[in-house]
Every structure is written in structure tokens, then in C-alpha cells.
Amino acid sequence: MGWYVSYIVLYFIFMFAMGIYYFFKVKTYNEYLIGSWSVGYWPIVGTIVSTWCGAAVFIGWVGMGFTVGLSGFFKFALPGILFSILLIFLFAAPLRRQRLYTLADLFGERFGGKSGIVPSILSAFIYSVPTLALQIVGMSTVFKMALGMDLQVGIFLSFALILAFTILGGLPAAIVTDAIQSFILLAGIVILFVAAVLYGDGFGNIIAKTQAEFLSPVGADGLNEVLLFALSVGPFYLVWQSTWQRIFASESEKVAKKAGITGFAISGAISFLPFSIGVIARQFAPADMKPDLLFSYVTVELLPPVVGGLVLVGLLAALMTGADSFILQGSSNLTRDIYYRILNPKATEKQLMTSARWTVVIISVLGLVVAYALTDIVSLYQWALRLSATVMVFPFLAIMFWKRVTKQGVVWSMVLAAAATLAWPYMGISLDHTVFSFLVSIISLVGVSLLTKHDPSEQVRAVYWEDLDSAEMDEFPIDDEKSITL
């Protein structure tokens, strides 16, 4: 236990030193929430890797590899990576050109201030809160394993540490520490993978003793099921605000595109390892072990504390980077899209900074409540992904490519797609859940847009081809001399 305690204490000393440094350095709302659109190449790469490799990678995907095999990678991880790279490749340049803050900001610019309410609520509450709760619960399991701490106490301690760090430094502290922590978490997962291979007596022995369905890309479910799973997961990453934040924060369109592709390529390579560890663990882990406990079991079983402590710090790094990113995602939505655009359009710099920090507290407390109250956060998280994708993907694509789309078309599309997604389990239809909701979304979007006229509040344009009017953003001048680098 001594090694575990030492590593954990040193890790949090480093994190809070960085948080305190940026607390005094960050002076403006732009810096706190979006890094003044001035973050360099390697910090963007590092923060993408760190944010991607959260609780799902270290805990969920190791357990999934144990229960379903390598097909989990093709169902969940690979679709997310491919759609993220597609987002970066097609949209990084035109999105970065807008110098916005959030996904909902894009809706607000195109259709008027209040049109961003639905995407803001989805991003801040439906996605950010349960995802944050996953990170809190994940961190509490580390404290239980390493320190023998009661799980309920660990949840509160995790909440307090995450909140304190995030409220201190904002996005600049998160990005710089993410970039550094990406090396820690990469080392941790590689160490665990190598240890698992050695413990399983090498690849040849592992392959020979593993059932074919656990090594197959489609597993026992078949190709159709894998593709349907991919469809339910992948499109969400076109509207994943964590990636959008990194695009907006980049110092140029070129950095946004190159760093984004590099970051997700590395993340894709890393993502294969936890599923592999789970498959290998079938050689020596108890068959009835709960999947969420497998990572902890493998770490303790395979590694001496001096090395296992490093792996645990890698897990802590993944959980902290994911947590602060999801908090800041929700905070950006509440501050920018609701407080500034709707409640107080004339807010001063001081008021915006105060709002940003208070909304960090709100999102964090809600995450704590979910962590304590719900027993099946993973299912809630999967619902959040599906709901966000079916409601947001086609309206986003319409904003980018279709000049004829109207405000009423987008609003009705979002409302009806949300209703279809939530009502599907009770409708008794055979059509796949996600396919049904996407059909409702696009049919209502196109149909209502063709039947209605543009609202006077709209800026009628296809954003992919034309620049948005940036007059509103001129209220917050960009300091081009500031840059966040390692």
C-alpha cells in the first residue's frame, strides 16, 4: 500500500500545483473556457488522447473484452474513432474559423440566441452529468483498491478533488495537464498489456486457449449486430462537444486538423489494448468476476506495487482528464448558451468568469448526485449517447451544408427525434432503435424546412461554405500573443 499512497499523493500534488498556477494566470472568461483559441499542436494531441481514455477505456473496455471479446472494439471504440476523425477531417477548419465556444453556439449563430437551448441541455445535463458520474465512481474504485477506502467516502473524495482542480484552472490547466498525463496513461495501459501477455505465456498460448468468438471482430452476435451497434455509437462523435472544444481551442485551423487526426489515431491504437487485456484475462481471472472489477484484479494480480502504482496513476490521470473535460463542457453550455445568450447578454467579464466557476460547481454537484443515486450509470450513459446523436447529428449537418434549412425545421427535428428515441421501447416496432430515430430526425428536418420560411433571426447560409458573421465575438478580443504550450 505504501507505493500506492506515495504515487497518488505525488500525483495530486502535481495536479493542484498546476491548478493553482493557472488560477492566478487565467484572467478572462475566454481563457478559462476555451484557452483564448490559442492552444498549440502537442497540447491538443495530448488532451484528445487523455479525454478519450477515461473510465470507459481503463475499466469498461477491459471488462467488455473479458465478456464479449475483441468484437467490443469494433462495436464501440472503432466507430467512435472513425467518426471523430471524420469530424476533424471534414469540419475542423470551418468550425475553427467561427471562433465559437460550444456546439450550441453554432446553432445560436445560425438561428438566433434561443435556438441553442436544446443542444445546451443535451450537452450539459444529458451527457456531461452521467459521464462525469462515471469518472467519479471510477476514481472511487481506485481509492478502494489502493487505500481500502469505503466506496461512498471515495465517491465524495473524488468529487471534491475533481471540483477543486477544475474550478482553479479551467480549460488551460486541463489541457496542459492532459498533455502531460497522456504519457502517464499510455505507459500505464501498455505496461498492463505487456504484463498480461507475459502472464498468459505469450500470444501463441493465449490464441490457442481462447475461444474463436472472443477473437473474432464480430464475436457471437454476427456482422449485422456489430454494424447496428456501431451505428448507435459512432454518429454521436460528430457532435461530441469535447472534440469541438479542442477544435475551437486550437491556435489555427491547421493545428485543429493535424492535431485532431494525430490525437484520435493514437487513441484508436490505445483503445485496442484494454479489450485485448480483457480477452487475455480469461486465461487466469475467475469466470464469474464482475467486469467492472477486472481492471483492479489484473493490476493487483499481475504487477508488484512499485509498478502497479504507476498503472493506478495512469488510471487516475485518465479519470481526472475525462472529468474536468466533461465539467467544462457542461459549464461552457450553461455559461455561454444560457447565461450569456439568454439571461444576461450584457454580462461583464467579471460576471462571466463568476458564472463559469459557479456552473462548474453545478455540473460537479449533479455528477455527485448521479454517482450516489444510480446503480446503472453505464446504461444511462449509453442512452445519453443515443439521444444526443439522434437529436443533433442531422441538424448539425444541415447547418453545415444546407442553406434552405429553417429554424422551425431544426427545432421540430430535435423535438420529434428526442420523442422518438424516448418512446421507441414502448412502441413495439421491429425497426432498430437508432435507425428509427434517425429517420424521424431527417424526415421532419427536411419536411418542415421545405414547408416553412426562414425566421428573421436567422443568418441564412451553409456554414461549411461561408464564414459566420463574427460581430458578436468581437466583444471578446483574442490576444494572439498568448499561447498555451508545453
- 63 domain residue, yes or no: yes
Q: What is the reported pLDDT for 479?
A: 44
Q: Which residues contact 434 (CB under 8 A, 6 or more apart)?
A: 228, 231, 232, 386, 389, 390
Residues 352 and 31 sit within 8 Å (Cβ to Cβ): no
- 208 domain residue, yes or no: yes
365 pLDDT tier (thresholds 50, 70, 90): very high
Whether 418 shows a pLDDT value over 90: the answer reads yes
Mean pLDDT (the chain, rounded):
85
- 399 domain residue, yes or no: no
- 351 domain residue, yes or no: yes
Whether 271 shows a pLDDT value over 50: the answer reads yes
Grid cell locating 215: 477473437
**CATH number, domain with residue 155:** 1.20.1730.10
Each residue's pLDDT tens digit, 221-256: 888 888 888 888 899 999 988 899 889 888 899 999
Residues 308 and 299 sit within 8 Å (Cβ to Cβ): yes
Question: Of 294-303, 402-411, 426-435, which gets the smallest average pLDDT?
Answer: 294-303
HEC string for the chain: CHHHHHHHHHHHHHHHHHHHHHHHHCCCHHHHHHHHHCECHHHHHHHHHHHHCCHHHHHHHHHHHHHHCCHHHHHHHHHHHHHHHHHHHHHHHHHHCCCCCCHHHHHHHHHCHHHHHHHHHHHHHHHHHHHHHHHHHHHHHHHHHHHCCCHHHHHHHHHHHHHHHHHHHHHHHHHHHHHHHHHHHHHHHHHHHHHHHHHCCHHHHHHHHCCHHHHCCCCCCCHHHHHHHHHHHHHHHHCCHHHHHHHHHECCHHHHHHHHHHHHHHHHHHHHHHHHHHHHHCCCCCCCCCHHHHHHHHHHHHCCHHHHHHHHHHHHHHHHHHHHHHHHHHHHHHHHHHHHHHHCCCCCHHHHHHHHHHHHHHHHHHHHHHHHHCCCHHHHHHHHHHHHHHHHHHHHHHHHHCCCCCHHHHHHHHHHHHHHHHHHHHCCCCCCHHHHHHHHHHHHHHHHHHHCCCCCCCCCCCCCCCCCCCCHHHHCCCCCCCCECC
Q: What is the reported pLDDT for 363?
A: 94
| Total tally of structural domains belonging to the chain | 1
pTM for the model stands at 0.84
Gyration radius of the chain's alpha carbons: 22
- 109 domain residue, yes or no: yes
404 pLDDT tier (thresholds 50, 70, 90): very high
Whether 6 shows a pLDDT value over 70: the answer reads yes
Each residue's pLDDT tens digit, 149-201: 898 999 999 999 999 988 887 777 777 777 777 787 788 888 889 988 988 88
- 393 domain residue, yes or no: no
Q: Domain limits at 131?
A: 2-378
Question: Of 304-313, 322-331, 374-383, which gets the smallest average pLDDT?
Answer: 374-383
Q: What is the reported pLDDT for 260?
A: 95
383 pLDDT tier (thresholds 50, 70, 90): confident
Whether 354 shows a pLDDT value over 70: the answer reads yes
Rounded (5°) CA angle 124-128-133: 135
Q: What is the reported pLDDT for 333?
A: 85
- 83 domain residue, yes or no: yes
Residues 192 and 277 sit within 8 Å (Cβ to Cβ): yes
Each residue's pLDDT tens digit, 278-317: 999 998 888 888 887 788 778 877 888 888 888 888 778 7
Query: Averaged over 264-275, what is the pLDDT?
Result: 92
Q: What is the reported pLDDT for 34?
A: 65
Give the length of the chain: 486
Count of beta carbons in the 10 Å neighbourhood of residue 481: 7
Distance of alpha carbon 260 from alpha carbon 274, whole angstroms: 22
120 pLDDT tier (thresholds 50, 70, 90): confident
63 pLDDT tier (thresholds 50, 70, 90): confident
Query: Averaged over 125-146, what is the pLDDT?
Result: 85
- 431 domain residue, yes or no: no
Each residue's pLDDT tens digit, 436-468: 999 999 999 999 999 999 999 898 888 888 754
358 pLDDT tier (thresholds 50, 70, 90): very high
Query: Averaged over 333-346, what is the pLDDT?
Result: 86
Query: Averaged over 41-56, what is the pLDDT?
Result: 82
